[in-house]
Amino acid sequence: MRERVIDAMTTNETLWFRDVHPFEIFKQVILPELALRQKHTLRIWSAACSSGQEPYSLSMALQEYLWSKPGGLPLGAEILATDISASMLKEAQSGVYEAASLARSLSSERQQRFFEPQGQGLWRAKNEIRARVQFKEWNLKQSFGALGKFDVIFCRNVLIYFSNELKQYILRRFAAALQPYGYLVLGSSESVAGCTDLFDMVRIEPAVVYRPKIK
């Protein structure tokens, strides 16, 4: 019952490589930069991951980065994917999608490279893509303390549904959860403006990302 109420109250709309640029920036700017100063396994958080398209897109982008730069992340990288919806997480964790769902926004090249057919029009993300993603049920209204620190947080297309007060509260805690020099990536219609001054805006054309201010 609780699950049905949550699903009815929230939109789970998502896409592979949604808006394209955040994932290109992740692969071409953020990962190479973080790799230069890597002192631990990189931790990436997909906060509000819906049915898994965002964390698996991050994992594919990471894999493409590693292919272009073998040994580029000697200490590795892991992705934590959280959502409030248990049913979305179950779907995400299976890594299985209908061909039509893949075709909505994933190139056929990436589909062939990163998924394998399961029969009956279903495809499953390959083990190398699933293995670095861990799923956990998490309400963004909860404390993040138990999740540890992150190098990159993707929190896209969910804060728009929250009150300004709740947004401020969550953004403050994102700032605390990020490593110095970490990155926060929001949805293309979202911004920290008017909510907090804890972040610097970094323009990486054609998008904008955020970094916690260094005190």
Q: Binding to ligand SAM by residue 48, rule CB under 6 A? A: yes
Strands of the sheet with 207-212, listed across from one edge = 133-137, 77-83, 42-47, 150-155, 178-186, 207-212, 199-204
Compose the 97-126 pattern: x for residues touching ligand SAM by CB under 6 A, - for all others: ------------------------------
Calpha distance 135→89 (Å, rounded): 7
CA distance 215 to 206: 28
Smallest gap from residue 187 Cβ to ligand SAM (A)? 6
Would you say 18 or 35 has its CB closer to ligand SAM?
Answer: 18
Using alpha carbons only, give the angle 128, 132, 133 rounded to the nearest 5 degrees: 115
The reply on whether position 12 binds ligand SAM by CB under 6 A is: yes
Q: Would you say 184 and 153 are in contact if contact means Cβ atoms under 8 Å apart?
A: yes
- Footprint on residues 128-167 left by ligand SAM (CB under 6 A): 139-141, 156-158
Residue from 135, 118, 134, 137 nearest 126 by CA: 118
Using CB under 6 A as the binding rule, whether residue 168 contacts ligand SAM is answered as no
Nearer to ligand SAM, 15 or 96 (CB): 15
Does residue 184 bind ligand SAM (CB under 6 A)?
A: no
- Is the dihedral angle over the CA atoms 54, 60, 66, 68 positive or is it negative? negative
Find tokens 């998924």 and name the residue: 115
Q: How far is the CB of 165 from ligand SAM (least distance, A)?
A: 14
- CB of 14 vs ligand SAM, minimal distance in Å: 3
Closest CA to 53 of 92, 25, 10, 98: 92
**CB 157 to ligand SAM: min, Å:** 4
CB of 13 to ligand SAM, least distance (A): 5
Regarding 59 and contact with ligand SAM (CB under 6 A), the answer is: no
Q: Enumerate residues 6+ apart whose C-beta is below 8 A from 68.
A: none
Does the footprint of ligand SAM cover residue 11 (CB under 6 A)? yes
Select the span of 61-69, 81-89, 91-99, 121-129 touching ligand SAM (CB under 6 A): 81-89
Cis bond leading into 206, ω under 30°? yes
Contacts with ligand SAM, residue ranges (CB under 6 A): 10-15, 18, 48, 50, 54, 83-85, 88, 139-141, 156-158, 187
